[in-house]
Structure 1
Amino acid sequence: MAQRPTKDWRQFLEEQEAAVAAGSLDPGSEDAWALRCFPAAFTADVDAVLTLFERRIERVDLSSHHDVWVSIKDVVTALNSVSERWKLIETGEREELSQYIDDALTEAGADLDAVASRAGIDRSEMTDEWREW
């Protein structure tokens, strides 16, 4: 399965928490960005959404353009709820999450080029219709 961006987010957070505990990082400094950007509860909320998405794409017919679109819509709207609650999904996270959705569907067997072409959009725009983050 595609690597979730949350894996890196957790690693950044753990490294900075260790640095704070060691006294080599001031938690209020700009260098402590992961403490602000990736709190554990936020990352857990994103992971919960991605787990449901992964389970869904294991069960649906990925040769069905409709099923692919519904899978994308569902994960994006669930991430909208996380974004609304936390206000932490910025440009970098948006790109990582969009790429993860693409990678996970592709690895599962979806032909996203065909799905996007049929919709008359670029593959990179597949989350745009529902995305608020």
Structure 2
Amino acid sequence: MNHFDILGRSIADPVVESYLAHHEKLDPIDFRTNAEMGFFGGFDSGFGLQVESLSAYSAEFEEVRSRRLSDGEERIVSRLSFTGPDAIRAVQRAYSSALPFGLTFGDSSDIVAEKLGTGPFREGKSSTLPEYSAERFVHSYAVGNIVVIAKYDADLRLMAVYLMQADRTMLKATRRKASLPKQKIMPGNIDKVEALRVQMPTQRWRESMAEGDELFNEADIATAETALNAFIDTVKAATSQRDAQAIQAAVKDIVLAINEIHGRSGMIETLERDELGVLIDAVVRASGFSLPDDEDITAEWREW
């Protein structure tokens, strides 16, 4: 069974209809109960297929693989989920057909990486309501143009798999990485990079804090300021060496540093996100690094 061939297709596509019919036979009890919400498969049945409107799907993903209905009625398959037995929820039934990539519930995270042929590009923890589920580990993998999200138990044993197509952000990041050798970094632009240091938003943050804004605290502002200075220093050094890869690595480092600050204090709200995004983008472009106007170079790692 080719699970990957379902993603991006119309809910009315014969390929999808056949796929749904097969899974409904596996567990017909509540398979279509939530179909009007765009979810096929019982919440405890071990399988789920999610669809989105054509406009919503197209806004997030580049490729619509098939169209069968009018624009207003069209629903596109956006996500598949396969879940195993759950020690917390006794009613949870395990998916009974073959998992994608030859995966098996209970596989260790190392075995999953081996079967997928790649390590995770993101690792995290997922804590839901205590009475519903224990803390889980969640690893995300990129396999071609497919994103595989694996959920693990406390012992890093596989308990759920989710599939979706790579979204626009990921595809742009892939194309950007491929273009790194062609980037024309300009060593003469070091002064332009340095000149942007005065645009760091931390001074405004301190002024807001002094005026009583409880969003900010000096410790996190100072940590952010140190990270931003290190980012600019790294980009300057990479510019002098015409090293586009080092510039992209510097972006990743500063975004991860701000992620940590935000995760601790929630300090980065809409205005702060915009300030940081404008600064990071300007520093990168000042080096000579070329970016499309609609590309956010921070999006690949940003959690704020």
| TM-score, scaled relative to structure 1 | 0.70
* Structure 1 residue 67: Cα displacement: 2.2
* Structure 1 residue 57: Cα displacement: 1.4
- Contact kept, 8 Å, 2:235 with 2:287, in 1: the verdict is no
> Could you tell me how far apart the structure 2 residues matched to 1:11 and 1:69 are?
31
Question: Quick one: higher RCO (CA 8 Å, sep 6+), 1 or 2?
Answer: 1
Greater Rg over alpha carbons, structure: 2
**Equivalent runs, 1:9-20 vs 2, <5 Å:** 9-14=205-210, 16=211
Unpaired segments ≥5 residues, structure 1 = 17-31
1:122 matched to 2:281? The reply is no
1:57 matched to 2:57? The reply is no
User: Could you tell me which of 173, 189, 202 is aligned with 1:6?
Assistant: 202
Partner of residue 35, structure 2:
none
> Could you tell me how far apart the structure 2 residues matched to 1:122 and 1:66 are?
20
Partner of residue 66, structure 1:
245
Give deviations 1:37-59, integer Å, cap 9, x for gaps: 12212211111111211221121
Partner of residue 132, structure 1:
303
**Equivalent runs, 1:9-88 vs 2, <5 Å:** 9-14=205-210, 16=211, 32=212, 34=213, 36-61=214-239, 63-88=242-267
Give deviations 1:45-87, integer Å, cap 9, x for gaps: 1111112112211211374332221111111111111111212
Count of aligned residue pairs for this structure pair: 107
> Could you tell me how far apart the structure 2 residues matched to 1:55 and 1:64 are?
13
> Could you tell me how far apart the structure 1 residues matched to 2:279 and 2:203 are?
12
Partner of residue 178, structure 2:
none
User: Could you tell me which of 267, 278, 282 is aligned with 1:103?
Assistant: 282
> Could you tell me how far apart the structure 2 residues matched to 1:12 and 1:82 are?
18
| TM-score, scaled relative to structure 2 | 0.33
SS of 1:55 mapped into structure 2 = helix
- Contact kept, 8 Å, 2:234 with 2:247, in 1: the verdict is no
> Could you tell me how far apart the structure 2 residues matched to 1:87 and 1:78 are?
13
* Structure 1 residue 104: Cα displacement: 2.6
Counting aligned pairs with the same residue, the percent is 30
Q: Which has the higher helix share?
A: 1
> Could you tell me how far apart the structure 1 residues matched to 2:271 and 2:228 are?
17
Superposed CA RMSD in Å reads 2.0
Give deviations 1:82-128, integer Å, cap 9, x for gaps: 1112121111111111111122333xx4234x2x34xxx833x1100
Unpaired segments ≥5 residues, structure 2 = 1-194
> Could you tell me how far apart the structure 2 residues matched to 1:102 and 1:86 are?
24
